[in-house]
Amino acid sequence: MSLREADDEVVDAELVEDGELLPALGARPLVNQHTVLRPGQAIPTTADRGPGYTERDIYLLDSTARALEEGEDEPGTRRDAVRRFERWCMEHGRVARPCTTVTFTDYGNHLMEQGLKVATIKNYMSLIRTHQPAGKQPDNSLYLQLLKKYRAKNKRASRKKQAFPITLPYLIPMMAKAEEDGRPIGIRDAAMFAFGYRFLARSSEEVDLDIEDLTILDDRIIVWLAKDKTHQDEDQTIVLHDRADLQLVARMRRWLAHLEVHGITTGPLFRQLHPGGRPATGFREKIATRRGDYLRGQTVNERVKLWFKAAGLVTDGRPVSSQGLRAGGATDLAEAEATDKEIQEAGRWKEGSPIPRAIYVRPVQAGKKDPFAKVPIHVIGAGEDT
DSSP 183-221: -HHHHHHHHHHHHHHHHT--HHHHTT-BGGGEEE-SSEE
Q: What does the mean pLDDT of the chain come to?
A: 82
Q: Which residue has the higher pLDDT, 315 or 7?
A: 315
pLDDT of residue 271: 92
pLDDT of residue 275: 86
The pair phi, psi for residue 370, each rounded to 5°, is -140, 100
Spatial contact of 280 and 293, defined as CB atoms under 8 Å apart: yes
What integer is the mean pLDDT of 337-341?
A: 87
What integer is the mean pLDDT of 161-173?
A: 91
**Does the pLDDT value for residue 235 go beyond 90?**
no
What integer is the mean pLDDT of 260-271?
A: 93
pLDDT of residue 6: 39
The C-alpha atoms of residue 233 and residue 262 are separated, in whole angstroms, by 35
pLDDT of residue 340: 85
Range from 13-27, 95-109, 257-271, 367-381 carrying the lowest mean pLDDT: 13-27
pLDDT in tens, 45-60: 766 665 566 777 778 8
Closest CA to 189 of 313, 307, 329, 351: 307
| Band of residue 195 on the pLDDT scale cut at 50, 70, 90 | very high
Closest CA to 262 of 293, 286, 290: 293
Spatial contact of 185 and 273, defined as CB atoms under 8 Å apart: yes
pLDDT of residue 49: 60
pLDDT in tens, 53-83: 677 777 888 878 766 665 444 444 667 889 9
The C-alpha atoms of residue 231 and residue 348 are separated, in whole angstroms, by 8
Helix (H, G, I), strand (E, B) or coil at 231: strand
What integer is the mean pLDDT of 310-337?
A: 91
CA 84 to chain centre: 18
Residues whose CB is less than 8 angstroms from the CB of residue 112 and which lie 6 or more positions away in sequence, other chains included? 121, 146, 147, 150
**What percent of the chain lies above the pLDDT cut of 70?**
80
Sign for the pseudo-dihedral over CA of 94, 97, 98, 104: positive
The C-alpha atoms of residue 348 and residue 239 are separated, in whole angstroms, by 12
DSSP letter (8 states) at residue 375 = S
The C-alpha atoms of residue 109 and residue 142 are separated, in whole angstroms, by 10
pTM confidence score: 0.63
pLDDT of residue 339: 87
**Does the pLDDT value for residue 241 go beyond 90?**
yes
- CATH code assigned to 168-365: 1.10.443.10
| Band of residue 92 on the pLDDT scale cut at 50, 70, 90 | very high
Of these ranges, 12-21, 63-72, 163-172, 198-207, the one predicted with the greatest mean pLDDT is 163-172
pLDDT in tens, 200-233: 888 888 898 999 999 999 999 999 987 665 555 6
Spatial contact of 330 and 356, defined as CB atoms under 8 Å apart: yes
Range from 27-36, 72-81, 158-167, 332-341 carrying the lowest mean pLDDT: 72-81
| Band of residue 385 on the pLDDT scale cut at 50, 70, 90 | low
pLDDT of residue 127: 92
Torsion of CA 255, 269, 192, 241, to 10 degrees: 90
**Does the pLDDT value for residue 158 go beyond 80?**
no
Number of residues in the chain: 386
Distance linking the first and last C-alpha atoms of the chain: 94
86, burial (CB in 10 Å: exposed 0-12, middle 13-18, buried 19+)? middle
Helix (H, G, I), strand (E, B) or coil at 122: helix
The one-letter code for the residue type at 261 is V
Range from 3-17, 50-64, 185-199 carrying the lowest mean pLDDT: 3-17
What integer is the mean pLDDT of 305-334?
A: 92
pLDDT of residue 290: 56
pLDDT of residue 89: 95
pLDDT of residue 246: 96
Range from 177-191, 192-206, 220-234 carrying the lowest mean pLDDT: 220-234
**Does the pLDDT value for residue 126 go beyond 80?**
yes
pLDDT of residue 160: 66
Superfamily of chain region 64-158: Tyrosine recombinase, N-terminal domain (1.10.150.130)
pLDDT of residue 125: 94
Domain ranges of the chain: 64-158, 168-365
